[in-house]
Chains A and B, each alone.
Chain A
Amino acid sequence: MDYEFHWNIVFQNMPELLNGAFVTLHVSVLAMLLGVVIAILLAIAKMNNSKPFCYVATVWVEIARNTPALFQIYMAYFGLGAFGIHLSPYVAVLSALVFINAGYLTETFRGGFQSIPTTQYSASKSLGMTSIQAYRYIILPQMLRRIYHPMTNQFVWSILMSSLGILVGMSELSGTTQRLQSLSFRTLEFFIVAAVMYFIITKLVLFSSSLLARRLFKGEI
């Protein structure tokens, strides 16, 4: 390849790139946490016998899983904008990611819930626990342990998907990379460094969640 790499320009701009990387980490961790909470509620709603809850959960899951993330982020920003609702790029990307994470995780959680024998629920009830207690102390801990791997997969996915934030002008890692490369036209250098940073971020997240899991689940998973 007849191309000379100029790395110094990338190092000069490292502070800005790190800033972008921090925004990426920030938005995806927040989107994951909110997504997990909503997904648990949706999964319970989906298994519920009451029609309206089940219906809402199904619609959410179907839309989140069967439309492109790109479209959802665009809708959150320009789509809502058409109705006079103006989210900042950060909030638009965050809400789109929460929407997607919740949609995908709902199905994962539902599978997790259903893998726990219903007799455990009955047993907790017979010990005098309320429904909430039964979920909190008996069902959820076992369920979370079983779905730990699909959940971290979704986490990695959501970090990588946050790069679509560039569509709505968000200054996360990809947006910052794009801006910096347009100043110097050192596209390859900036993209390579950004890719390495994404790699480090996902590895970091996987590592810390496995630490957390070991503590929570008391042992190997």
Chain B
Amino acid sequence: MIRKLATLVFACAALTSVNATADQLDTVIQRGTLNCGVVLDFPPMGYFDENNEPAGFDVDYCNDLGEVLGVDVNILNLTWGDRIPSLISGKTDVVIGSTSDTLERAKTVGFTYPYFVFKFQVIAHEDKNIKSFADLKDLKVGAALGTTYETEYLAYADKQGWGRDNYTSFKSENDAFLGLYQGKVDAIISTNTNIATKLRSKEFADFVAGPYVPNYDDVVGIIAKRDEVAWINYLNLFLVRQIRDGNMNKAYNKHFGVDAPAELIQSLRDNK
């Protein structure tokens, strides 16, 4: 009798454990490795350092996440366009890649709370003397393909009736800056952080940061598969703790040389 009961209990236990499906959080912990996607041509958020190792704010976040999960971190280098395919194909568990949280995109992927806020800005040769966004009217403008600043610029240009003949898109951030440097375009749109990094190099000594894209804050989140709700919950708590535990400020200070501005932190808290 006792044996029969025991068998029944074991059978039930076995059944329940089969029924409970492991979610992404379990998968990552059981695998012991976090596959974290980062865009590595977007300094200082993601880039290759002088030893050709992945580095940057986003990479630090991947490592912080791996540490709290207690797993190894495998950084995967993505282009802007690779972010979603990498998630859907299961190559990455999470993409910390400055992804703007549009409602259109949220129909496809799951967004966490915001983890950073960018400004979109113009960079051009100082001779171009661009004072406001309207000065771009007759200039050749470029941006990286598939970015929100490309969309914002094109929307602005369409609204002003400028047409798209003067616009050039580039495959990557690096190509956009190369195009600007070679004079293929007069100005490009990028993020304030990337521009500030580029202006420190001697190639861009004669270039200046111009006006911001009007009325636009680029609020970005971490992305994961849309149906992995528990995983996204965990990531949300991770982001809250990054600020509360001071890791956010540490990463900011490391890559921007100053403490995270109070307004940035406030805006992250407000936006969530």
Contact = CB atoms under 8 A, between A and B. Distances in A.
Interface in A160-191: 166-169, 171, 175, 178-179, 181-188
A188 B108 CA distance: 11
B108 A89 contact: no
B184 A187 contact: no
A169 B168 contact: yes
Contacts of B183: 81, 84, 86
B241 to A, nearest CB: 27
Interface string A1-30: 011001000000000000000000000000
Nearest to B223: A185
A169 B169 contact: yes
Interface footprint category on A = 20 to 34
A211 interface: no
B207 interface: no
A169 B81 contact: no
Interface in A171-221: 171, 175, 178-179, 181-188
Given A175-B169, A184-B108, A3 B88 contact: yes
Contacts of B142: 169
A182 B147 contact: yes
B108 A182 contact: no
B81 A89 contact: no
A160 B105 CA distance: 29
B109 interface: yes
A86 B142 CA distance: 14
B182 A185 contact: no
A82 interface: yes
B108 A186 contact: yes
Interface in B169-199: 169-171, 175, 178-179, 182-184
B8 to A, nearest CB: 33
B15 to A, nearest CB: 23
A78 B145 contact: no
B107 A184 contact: yes
Contacts of A168: 170-171
Nearest to B99: A185
Contact of B182 (A81, A171, A179): A81
A6 B107 contact: yes
For A2, A178, A187, which residue has the most chain B Cβ atoms within 10 angstroms? A187
B171 A78 contact: no
A179 B145 contact: yes
Interface string B5-35: 0000000000000000000000000000000
Given A89-B168, A169-B170, A169-B171, A187 B182 contact: no
Interface in B65-92: 80-81, 83-85, 88
Contact of A171 (B83, B169, B175): B169
B105 A185 contact: yes
Nearest to A87: B184
A187 B104 contact: no
B135 to A, nearest CB: 22
B81 A178 contact: yes
Nearest to B142: A169
Contacts of A181: 81, 84, 146
Contacts of A183: 102, 104-105, 151
Contacts of B84: 181, 185, 187
Nearest to B79: A178
Nearest to B140: A86
Nearest to B225: A2
A186 B168 CA distance: 23
20 contacts: A2-B225, A6-B107, A78-B179, A81-B184, A84-B182, A169-B145, A169-B169, A169-B175, A171-B169, A179-B146, A179-B150, A182-B81, A182-B147, A183-B102, A184-B105, A184-B107, A185-B84, A185-B104, A185-B109, A187-B81
